[in-house]
Amino acid sequence: MGVKQIFQQGPIDPQFIANSISKHAVKTGIGGHSIFLGQVRADVIDGQTVAAIEYTTYEEMALQKMHEIREDIFAKYPLTCMHVYHSLGKVNAGEICLFVFTSAVHRKEAIDACAECVERIKSELPVWGKEWFADESYQWKENK
């Protein structure tokens, strides 16, 4: 498989997620799906509430890293398909910024692959988040 575009500007629309899921109804060999939705939290940091996160990346490097993650996961798990979408730009608290969707003949493989994919995205993908507060101040997000 070639390098797939995973980035989209702004939040991931819930209708897009629903449409992605519904398209799999014709794939009758699938027995299980696993879906992860990452949502921007309104964390309170030093008395200020996060209003949004602005995501940035060096796209070519990030897409290549995601391709490597994808290839590793397909080699490890017998998946039917895997879809990953990550926001760039500003995403408000409460909106979806990451959508990972894995499918397999059996649920365990779909669930395990989805969980591993999310963990690897969070730890390896060169995407940075600037946490914006209501007063327009910001800080760079640290993944924990």
Q: What is the pLDDT of residues 18-47, one digit of tens each?
A: 999 999 999 989 999 999 999 999 999 999
Tokens 């939705």 found at: 37
Check residue 15 and report its DSSP letter: H
Answer whether residue 144 shows pLDDT above 80. no
For the domain with range 7-140, which CATH number is right: 3.10.20.310, 3.40.1190.20, 3.20.20.70, 3.90.1170.40? Answer: 3.90.1170.40
- The DSSP string of 19-85 is HHHHGGGG-TT--EEEEEEEE----EETTEEEEEEEEEE-HHHHHHHHHHHHHHHHHHS-EEEEEEE
What are the domain boundaries of the chain?
Answer: 7-140
| Spatial separation of the C-alpha atoms in residues 36 and 100, rounded to whole Å | 5
Asked whether the whole model's pTM tops 0.75, one would answer yes
| Spatial separation of the C-alpha atoms in residues 136 and 52, rounded to whole Å | 10
pLDDT tens for 38-94 read: 999 999 999 999 999 999 999 999 999 999 999 999 999 999 999 999 999 999 999
Mean pLDDT of 92-107: 98
pLDDT at 2: 79
Torsion of CA 7, 13, 17, 23, to 10 degrees: -90
Do residues 67 and 3 touch, judged by C-beta distance below 8 A?
A: yes
| Spatial separation of the C-alpha atoms in residues 63 and 7, rounded to whole Å | 9
b or e along 46-82 (b: 16 or more beta carbons within 10 Å of the residue's beta carbon)? Answer: eebebbbbbbebeeeebbebbeebbeebeeebebbeb
pLDDT at 141: 82
